[in-house]
Structure 1
Amino acid sequence: MLNARRLEAVRLRLDGHTVAAVATRTGLSAPTVSAAWKAFRQGGWEAVPVRQRGRRPGQATSLGDREQGVLWRRLAEQPEPPRPCWSSQDLADALRAETQQEVSPRAIEHWLEAQGLKPSPLSLEGLARKRSIAGRWVRQQVQPVLEQVNKAGGAIWQGGVRVAGPATSVASLPRRYQLYLHGKRGALYTRCLPAPPKADDYLALLTRLAERGPVALIFHGADFQASPEIQRWLANHPDFHLINVPTDAL
């Protein structure tokens, strides 16, 4: 019923009726009429109906031991190129291919959060407004690089390395070291290792990001100045801008 009225609202707008008049005739609110009209202008008639929320029939709402074992094993592996790490969609696809079980990316995200594997990206705009060491670092060292990469049509990533564990600490669970990235709109990409990452692990990550053109990577948790291998790699990739988050900035 809602979608039928949204479609009718678009037809009326195409006939020249105002938003207020359409809202009165269809019984929709003015914001809903505007949203339907915007959806039509951006994506045509197919974009006007709203999609059903929630999981689709047949989607799993929980992950059993077998499924979790598959996810842990995948996270310990390097994904196929050009992916730098595993996204929730990648993990859902891998799980479906191996177990024939349909799991949504949102369910994977909930599982990652329960395992303590869902760090949040830095709020750079919020930090830039602060009169602090962190604010000065963003304004003086981060923002000029991001502007340069944006002008070149490059990509901006955040990332880091951390010791990760579930929200409820269990002594018997192994320690895991998480390599993670945040891409557009904060999308999470991750990989887990049983030991602290080595230079080769970082270089595999940097190399895949560098294949996408000019890159700025804001990275937290590792001192790359101490790695001759990574310094040589950076010297050979001048379009790759690696910005270390200083320990006193957060």
Structure 2
Amino acid sequence: MSAKHLSPQELSECRLQAVRLRLDGHTVAETARRTGLSAPTVSAAWKAFLEGGWEAVPVRVRGRKAGQAERLSRQAQQALARCLAAQPAGDEPAWSSRALAEVLKAEGYTVSPRAVDHWLEARDLKPEPLVLEGLERRRSTAGRWYRQQVQPVLEEVRRAHGDIWQGGVRVSRPGDQVVDEPRRYQLYLHGKRGVLLSRCFASPPVADDYLALFQRLPAQANAPVALVFHGAHFQACSQIRQWLDTHTEFHLINVPAGLRSAPEAKQKER
């Protein structure tokens, strides 16, 4: 496949898939083979992700300039916050920007997924995934954690054609540009092609909230699932422990405290 024969949307999807494969530990050569992209294109997508996060990976096309984002009405923003506080209908574990835009359109609001993305970003609701690439070679606590707890599980799930997710729980910290915006407790996932899925709460999530998320992750019955989860440890929660004991196909991997995503680490160094 030659990138020049792809539409901008198709190329962007391939670049996102390439980054996801790299995050899962695949080499540039293996990623290029799986996506059909050239090795330089894979490397360029990876570099864009490391420098600017997921939003920097898709190719840029002509259109609305930065800073000219669609403005959501107060009513649309209230509807958006209401959706995030509820569980999506159907099988989705949480809300994507596209799903939120579709629900708001059905309610009569003119909203695009990009406008939803801008709204989430302004409220610190766009967390980046952890970059696991290269951890297996590090002589550190993080490297040992990856080699001993993460790598064997991911390899087992891949062999069984299961699903690999990243996720976590965090508290948003809206910037000064958003007036009177409350902090939210955010449960989030990064799924296939790096798509961000979220639910938001006014108070810390309880066991039932976590389980509602976990139960929707398997794409098919009895398929293994690996979830690398940041921000919470569930050893003290008997309800979640019991659920995990009876769902042996679900592999929950806790991320050690202090291990940050590449964009977060880079930002802290500045």
Length-normalised TM-score, structure 1: 0.74
8 Å Cα contact 1:133/1:248 also seen in 2: no
- Corresponding residue for 2:232? 222
The Cα shift of 1:248 comes to 4.7
1:249–1:61 distance in 2 versus 1, CA, 3 Å: closer
How far, CA to CA, are the matches of 1:51 and 1:173 in structure 2? 31
8 Å Cα contact 1:81/1:208 also seen in 2: no
How far, CA to CA, are the matches of 1:118 and 1:97 in structure 2? 24
The Cα shift of 1:227 comes to 0.6
The Cα shift of 1:61 comes to 1.7
The Cα shift of 1:249 comes to 4.2
- Say yes or no: does 1:145 pair with 2:153: yes
Candidates 156, 159, 164, aligned match of 2:164: 156
- Corresponding residue for 2:115? 107
Deviations 1:167-224 (A, max 9, x none): 2287943331000000012210000001100000001011111354310000011111
How far, CA to CA, are the matches of 2:177 and 2:113 in structure 1? 25
How many residue pairs match? The answer is: 205
Deviations 1:79-101 (A, max 9, x none): 11200000011001011111241
- Three-state SS of the structure 1 residue aligned to 2:156 is helix
How far, CA to CA, are the matches of 2:182 and 2:126 in structure 1? 18
How far, CA to CA, are the matches of 1:108 and 1:229 in structure 2? 34
How far, CA to CA, are the matches of 2:114 and 2:104 in structure 1? 13
- Corresponding residue for 2:245? 235
How far, CA to CA, are the matches of 1:69 and 1:136 in structure 2? 45
The Cα shift of 1:233 comes to 0.5
- Say yes or no: does 1:97 pair with 2:65: no
The Cα shift of 1:126 comes to 3.8
What amino acid maps onto 2:147 in structure 1? R
Overall identity of the aligned pairs, in %: 60
Q: Which segments of 5 or more consecutive residues in structure 2 lack a partner in the other structure?
A: 11-58, 261-270
8 Å Cα contact 2:101/2:116 also seen in 1: yes
- Three-state SS of the structure 1 residue aligned to 2:165 is strand
- Say yes or no: does 1:166 pair with 2:134: no
CA RMSD of aligned residues (A): 2.7
The Cα shift of 1:116 comes to 0.3
Candidates 49, 63, 69, aligned match of 2:72: 63
- Three-state SS of the structure 2 residue aligned to 1:191 is strand
The Cα shift of 1:127 comes to 3.2
Q: Which segments of 5 or more consecutive residues in structure 1 lack a partner in the other structure?
A: 1-33, 43-49
8 Å Cα contact 1:88/1:108 also seen in 2: yes
How far, CA to CA, are the matches of 1:70 and 1:151 in structure 2? 42
How far, CA to CA, are the matches of 2:95 and 2:140 in structure 1? 35
1:246–1:98 distance in 2 versus 1, CA, 3 Å: same
1:126–1:118 distance in 2 versus 1, CA, 3 Å: farther
Query: RCO greater where, 1 or 2, for CA within 8 Å and sep 6 or more?
Result: 2
8 Å Cα contact 1:128/1:138 also seen in 2: yes
Length-normalised TM-score, structure 2: 0.69
How far, CA to CA, are the matches of 1:62 and 1:108 in structure 2? 10
1:38–1:199 distance in 2 versus 1, CA, 3 Å: closer
The Cα shift of 1:71 comes to 0.5
- Corresponding residue for 1:21? none
- Corresponding residue for 1:13? none
- Three-state SS of the structure 1 residue aligned to 2:174 is coil
How far, CA to CA, are the matches of 2:150 and 2:105 in structure 1? 40
- Corresponding residue for 1:28? none
